[in-house]
């Protein structure tokens, strides 16, 4: 008997060493796990140093995911640092039904010409501004995560907000300004992500 195939939502993260793309990738695995999914979150390691391009991956499935290879045809690509567009072919293999989500002050229309002919959705989010407004510091992880969940619908949005609140309450126990700041950054990014 042939088994039913276990379709995965596959996400590839591009960032620079030290910016927290790996952390964001693992956070997404965490929240997807909390919502009852099977998850994989794994970075691709090499001789990394601060500022060098890094890649991380997520697979999110309903049943246990067997595959242990890297992801070559992602459903979504997340770019945490816009300057990577110059050196990394970020849309390589990206499915046209999927989307590119990029941390940028630019509009999707301004980003598109910088991509190598990608025809799918391009989504931009000014994670730096959102983070600066909400937390007074540039921590792009939380807003990027909010944008990914908003665009990909990979997990239930309300459940996600609730889980993140609990996660922040746990992580920043007693630091109300950080809990509120991160929650506000999360919600704002879910509202402000531009889809083009």
- Site residues (vs another protein, CB under 8 A): 2-3, 5-6, 26, 29-30, 33, 38-47, 64-70, 72
Q: Distance of CA 41 to CAs 30, 37, 149, Å?
A: 9, 12, 15
Closer CB to another protein, 44 or 82, in the complex: 44
From the CB of 60, what's the least distance to another protein, in Å?
11
Q: What is the DSSP letter of 115?
A: S
CB of 76 closer than 8 Å to CB of 34: no
From the CB of 16, what's the least distance to another protein, in Å?
18
From the CB of 73, what's the least distance to another protein, in Å?
10
From the CB of 45, what's the least distance to another protein, in Å?
5
From the CB of 90, what's the least distance to another protein, in Å?
19
Nearest to 112 by CA among 141, 135, 91: 91
Closer CB to another protein, 37 or 188, in the complex: 37
Closer CB to another protein, 25 or 144, in the complex: 25
Residue 32 has phi, psi (to 5 degrees) of -70, -40
Alpha-helical runs (H) found in 61-194: 108-111, 127-135, 141-152, 157-171, 176-192
Closer CB to another protein, 5 or 50, in the complex: 5
Nearest to 128 by CA among 115, 139, 112: 139
Closer CB to another protein, 22 or 188, in the complex: 22
């Amino acid at each position: 008997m042939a088994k039913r195939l276990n379709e995965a939502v596959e996400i590839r993260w591009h960032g620079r060493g030290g910016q927290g793309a790996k952390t964001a990738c693992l956070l997404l695995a965490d929240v997807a796990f909390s919502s009852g999914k099977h998850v994989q979150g794994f970075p691709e390691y090499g001789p990394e140093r601060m500022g060098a391009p890094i890649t991380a991956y997520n697979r999110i499935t309903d049943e246990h995911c067997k595959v242990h290879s890297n992801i070559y045809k992602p459903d979504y690509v997340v770019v945490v640092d816009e300057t990577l567009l110059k050196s990394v072919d970020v849309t390589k293999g990206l499915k046209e039904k999927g989307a590119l989500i990029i941390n940028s002050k630019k509009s999707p229309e301004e980003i598109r010409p910088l991509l190598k002919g990608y025809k799918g959705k391009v989504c931009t989010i000014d994670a730096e501004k959102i983070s600066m407004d909400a937390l007074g510091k540039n921590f792009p992880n939380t807003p990027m995560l909010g944008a990914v969940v908003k665009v990909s619908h990979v997990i239930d949005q309300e459940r996600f907000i609730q889980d993140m609140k609990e996660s922040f309450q746990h992580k920043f126990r007693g630091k109300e300004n950080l809990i509120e700041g991160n929650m506000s950054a999360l919600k704002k990014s879910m509202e402000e992500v531009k889809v083009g």
